[in-house]
Structure 1
């Protein structure tokens, strides 16, 4: 892409706004579906529409130019500043994990499990330990499948199955590569595994199905899902593909996309709260 840096930033920002609207990132859409959260299926529908929109109207336009190999977005931070990778990985890893444990100490996650009257108490695992576990999946994927962790591709693969129908195959040919192949099957299986794991976890905690009180509204879910998948395609990855895998490799492009995700989400949330005074996003 000719202006890949802009695409990364804009795509990341769209993901951030989508996360605020839907109360989910692309990966946790599948988790919410497994927990029986009603409007998560609407979020998934919005994400499917986002994929169709991207490949029908934007794909050819945004990918007509190759990114020069010298582009800064393809470089890694260690190469850029001349510091050994191991030093930066250890430094950033220690900072992030240390910050997570510090936040957990001062703001225990169990305080977020308090529920409104009339609803059953929520059960949760330590987000710090869960975060470390999710990050460790990167090593598992690289060693076993020779690929990085990423889940938004699951929506591509899901939608691409429609390309088996000749009419749609001719209408959106750019989706056909996602319809076949082992790597695509793995992406879909990973998404299905997230649904299954969430279902088992929620049922074992006697929380299934999660009350709709914990989810976003119908239109917020749909629009959020649409922006999540559209942004993920523009940025070439989502919170897992760019935020976990790309940042793990200290890719400049991934750092740009991730900054867009959280910066865009924070600014949108602040703007929404300032205008509506609905700081808890009840109207969404």
Structure 2
């Protein structure tokens, strides 16, 4: 998304992400998958199965609840307020977060019905790196990447990632914000290591905020619920710590 919006050093973040994928499959994947989880493991189970409830009922309950919460929050805390400075000047425009969330959910539904494929961004980086396995040397060096090299499922994952870049570009251009200026970005080293850690973490967890948070949670997978809670929990802890240290609770200097 940052790449599509022209954010400075976003390309460096992508390079860091690619290096993170290489690091994971070169040094971590065999250690982490040496003892695979049994199919009876709770993290591989779905919440409806554990509760003995039909999937469609629990999915409807969760879906309607979350959609209602999103629109209620948007009603009482309008997102437009975040776009206005203290002097009343509107710095940018944006789309409704609640409607965008519903749109992503419908996109997930389309992918599942049409292609039996869930959404996910971090796997797109894996697919990019896996193309090196078309060369025999890399195929022998990183055999665990071979499964990401070919096939329509991998092509769709890459297409989804590229479409996200294109969508970000269209969004920023249509709102006269392209390219995003430096205040929204980070320096070179922070960009690189941020991308590196992000992809290492996503591969270790088996998915990123889109793979686990959107796709996994939509299936009510226990492991995805745990991973998503940990992601948001970690972000909240960081935000509190950052605010206490800098007294910048609006994160203007972040």
Q: TM-score, normalised by structure 1?
A: 0.82
Give the aligned partner of residue 154 of structure 1. 124
Query: In the TM superposition, what whole-angstrom CA distance separates every residue of 1:32-68 from its partner, at most 9, and x where no partner exists?
Result: 2111111222221221111111111100011112211
Cross-structure match for 1:104: 74
Structure 1 103/167 Cα, relative in aligned 2: closer, same or farther at 3 Å? same
Deviation digits for residues 44-93 of structure 1, max 9, x if unmatched? 12211111111111000111122111111111111112223233222211
- The question of 1:186 aligning with 2:156 is answered yes
Task: Tell me if structure 2 keeps the 8 A contact 1:115–1:122.
Answer: no
Moved more, 160-169 or 261-270: 160-169
Which residues of 2 match residues 224-235 of structure 1 at below 5 A?
A: 224-235=194-205
2: distance between equivalents of 1:116 and 1:180? 52
Identify the residue that residue 251 of structure 1 maps to in structure 2: 221
Alignment of 1:34-183 (within 5 A): 34-114=4-84, 121-183=91-153
C-alpha distance in 2, partners of 1:265/1:160? Answer: 30
**What's the offset of the Cα at 1:176?**
2.4
CA distance in 2, matches of 1:110, 1:283: 21
Q: Secondary structure at the match of 1:68?
A: coil
2:182 to 212, 224, 231: 212
Gaps of 5+ in 1: 1-30
Q: What's the secondary structure of 1:100's corresponding residue?
A: helix
What's 1:9 paired with?
none
CA–CA distance in structure 2, aligned partners of residues 183 and 41 of structure 1: 25
**Alpha-carbon distance in 1 for matches of 2:181, 2:196:** 23
Equivalent residue number for residue 277 of structure 1: 247
Question: C-alpha separation between the residues in 1 aligned to 2:233 and 2:96?
Answer: 25
Distance in 2, Cα, partners of 1:55 & 1:282: 36
Q: Please say if residues 51 and 156 of structure 1, whose CA atoms lie closer than 8 Å, have aligned partners that are also in contact.
A: yes
**CA offset at residue 134 of structure 1?**
0.5
For residues 85 and 181 of structure 2, what CA distance do their matches in structure 1 show?
11
Go from structure 1 to structure 2 and tell me whether the alpha carbon gap of 1:61 and 1:258 turns closer, same or farther (over 3 Å shift).
Answer: same
DSSP 3-state at the match of 2:93: coil
Instruction: Render the CA deviation track for 1:132-177: whole Å, top value 9, x for unaligned.
Output: 0011111100111111122211000111223334443333222222
